[in-house]
Each structure stands twice: as C-alpha cells, then as structure tokens.
Amino acid sequence: MELQSREVNGVNGAHRVLSRIRPETRTGYILLCTLLWSTIAFLLVHRFVLSTVVVEGESMTPTLKPGDCRLVNCWLPLFRGYHRGDIVVIRDREKAELMVKRVVGLPSDCVQVSGGQVYINGRPLPEAYLPSSTFTSPRKWGNHTYAIARDCYFVLGDNRSASEDSRSYGAVHHADLLGLISP
C-alpha cells in the first residue's frame, strides 16, 4: 500500500511542478522534452539497431550496384552471429570508411583460392549468387591456404575482379563488422 502511495505522489509531484508553469510555457516545455527524448531514441536506434549505407564502387555488382541505399541491421548479428553468404558492412580503420562485402570464411576455417574457385576447408564453395563466369584470383597470397583466426571473417566482393577484400588485406576482425545487409 505504501508503494502505491509513493507512485501516486511521484506522478502528482510532477503534475504539481508542471501546474506551476504558465500554460504557454508548459506547452513549450512538453514539446522540448518530447523532441529531446525522440532525438535520443532515434540516435540509439540508428546506432545500435538499424542504420543505412550507400553502396560505393563496383565491388558488389551484380548483387548491389553503386548508389544503392540499404538498411544495415546492427542488432541481428548479436543474436545469430554472421553466416557464410551474409552481406556485411565493414569499418576500414585505416581509410576511415565503410565497405560492403560478403562473408565467405568463418572463424577457424581454412580458405584457399585455386583455379578460379574458392575452397573452404578443402571443399569448393558453392556461390549461387555469382554469375557462372566468375573467376576468383588468389591475389597476393597465391594458392596457399589461409587459416582464419578465431575472431575473424574472410570477406570477398561479388565482383571479384574489381574488389579489394580479404585477398588483399586479410581476414576482418569481428569488431569491425558493423551489421548485416539484405540484398
């Protein structure tokens, strides 16, 4: 019973404060508080739940084209992680920019590119999202097998000939993956 009376007094206390303010000022005060809380809620949702990204460059064609605007789900990976085939947004710390790539190698996988084909743990990676004529070159690490660290991912652009990706800069640390994109 005592708890209920405190709650009522708390509500009445706020009402008493607002009732002392002149009506024209009260409306402005309520509007200002609403605007402030709405802005805070928007910023929290934009940073931690949903964001947007505009695709720049040709590295993800034909799946994503330059100028495409996509929603980035920052929340879902916290519950399900990242899977092979996911399209992700990556923070490039050196260039201070965002990149969009596809996850092909998961933590602890072994990746090899040989004869234009990507192999994961010795098996060819089925890539139905790519045109059948796609040729994947191994770039700087040749036909060697690349072992992915426990907290890293191997990412490639869908347009393999025009993509700077894990073949150039290595696996991407989990902390640099910002979220998922739906194609």
- Catalytic site residues? 59, 101
Sign of the alpha-carbon torsion through 107, 109, 112, 113: negative
Residue by residue, DSSP assigns 40-107 as HHHHHHHHHTEEEEE--SSTTTTTS-TT-EEEEESSHHHHH---TT-EEEEEETTTTEEEEEEEEE-T
* Token pair 């399900």: residue: 80
Separation of CA 84 from chain center: 15
What distance lies between CA 80 and its chain's CA centroid? 13
Q: Is 3 helix (H, G, I), strand (E, B) or coil?
A: helix
